[in-house]
């Protein structure tokens, strides 16, 4: 189905479809005979069957909550996007590296902000742990070398309420699991629910970004379902590679954000997703600051640069 401003991305139009239950590594054959990976799709993550469903359900709950209580970073797009961690503030102002104050309600208690920050950090750090364990070594080594092994390594994720440091926790069926010495995720994170992204390129300084789908809510009588398209809608698209990745809960993707990418239209489908990226605007400010100088906190607004 094509609408104004949209293109059709299916096999008839030259796009390769990575099915909802299909793992994939997309690589380019280089002149020297080596392979250069450009997209990785992993399914049924984590692999432990007895843990997967409770983990995905808990992560979906946290993502939904984040998208309800935090400012929508893309108010003109379908769905919601919430931010946590570092920000450089409004696009039209002089960039200043800071921890974003993304909660909409100024009367939300400090304890509630801390709880929500802690839970979202836990979900993003779980994504980071799944990446470091399951993604190809070349990808993990490339990202960690740039972020952590440089002359000015990034600190772990932090917020105004939760200082950067080691360890994270998450709630699983009412039980709190704490990993006090585990490595926390990098300091830029996003949560989306039912979000539709128009095709775009991201200004990044690290080759790879990562996203995990914790939940996918499909209306039983939706337009696509009535047409028998059970796995269409809200899917990831790499336009440069001409690849469509069908979304499913328990999917982790490593993609190259400099490629033109986005999503297909959702038609009422709601994916619950968290993502980690490394934006150039933030890195340029980090180059000009030391962590000790990041002492003041500025509110985010709807025009914040991701």
The pLDDT of residue 242 is 96
Claim: this prediction has a pTM higher than 0.75: yes
Domain boundaries, the chain: 11-293
The pLDDT of residue 1 is 40
Please tell me the number of Cα atoms within 13 Å of 245 on its side-chain side.
28
The pLDDT of residue 210 is 99
The pLDDT of residue 260 is 97
Measured distance CA(9)–CA(245) in Å, rounded: 11
The pLDDT of residue 93 is 61
pLDDT tens series, the chain, 306 aa:
445 567 777 777 789 999 999 999 999 999 999 999 999 999 999 888 888 999 999 999 999 999 999 999 999 999 999 999 998 876 656 667 889 888 999 999 999 999 999 999 999 999 999 999 999 999 999 999 999 877 788 999 999 999 999 999 988 888 888 999 999 999 999 999 999 999 999 999 999 999 999 999 998 887 877 776 778 899 999 999 999 999 999 999 999 999 999 999 999 999 999 999 999 999 988 888 754 454 444 444 433 443
Cis (ω within 30 of 0) for the bond into 216?
A: no
The β-bridge partners of 28 are 36
Which CATH fold would you assign to the domain 11-293?
Double-stranded beta-helix (3.60.130)
């Amino acid at each position: 189905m094509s609408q104004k401003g949209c293109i059709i991305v299916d096999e008839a139009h030259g796009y390769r479809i990575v099915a909802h239950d299909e793992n994939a590594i997309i690589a380019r054959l280089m002149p020297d005979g080596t392979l250069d990976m450009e997209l990785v799709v992993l399914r049924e993550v984590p692999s432990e069957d007895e843990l997967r469903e409770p983990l995905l359900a808990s992560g979906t709950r946290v993502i939904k909550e984040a998208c309800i209580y935090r400012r929508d970073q893309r108010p003109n797009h379908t769905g919601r996007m919430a931010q946590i961690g570092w920000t450089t503030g409004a696009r039209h102002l002089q960039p200043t590296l800071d921890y974003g104050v993304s909660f909409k309600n100024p009367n939300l208690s400090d304890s509630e902000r801390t709880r929500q920050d802690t839970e979202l950090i836990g979900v993003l750090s779980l994504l980071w742990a799944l990446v470091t364990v399951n993604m190809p070594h070349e990808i993990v080594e490339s990202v960690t070398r740039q972020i952590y092994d440089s002359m000015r390594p990034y600190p772990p994720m932090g917020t105004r309420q939760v200082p950067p440091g080691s360890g994270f926790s998450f709630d699983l069926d009412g039980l709190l699991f704490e990993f006090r010495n585990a490595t926390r995720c990098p300091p830029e994170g996003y949560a989306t629910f039912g979000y539709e992204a128009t095709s775009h390129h991201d200004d990044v300084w690290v080759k790879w970004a990562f996203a995990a789908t914790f939940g996918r809510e499909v209306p039983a009588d939706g337009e696509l379902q009535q047409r028998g398209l059970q796995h269409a809608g809200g899917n990831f698209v790499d336009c440069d590679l001409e690849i469509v990745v069908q979304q499913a809960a328990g999917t982790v993707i490593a993609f190259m954000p400099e490629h033109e990418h986005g999503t297909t239209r959702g038609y009422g489908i709601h994916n619950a997703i968290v993502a980690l990226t490394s934006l150039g605007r933030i890195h340029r400010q980090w180059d000009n600051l030391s962590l000790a100088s990041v002492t003041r906190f500025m509110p985010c607004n709807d025009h914040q640069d991701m």
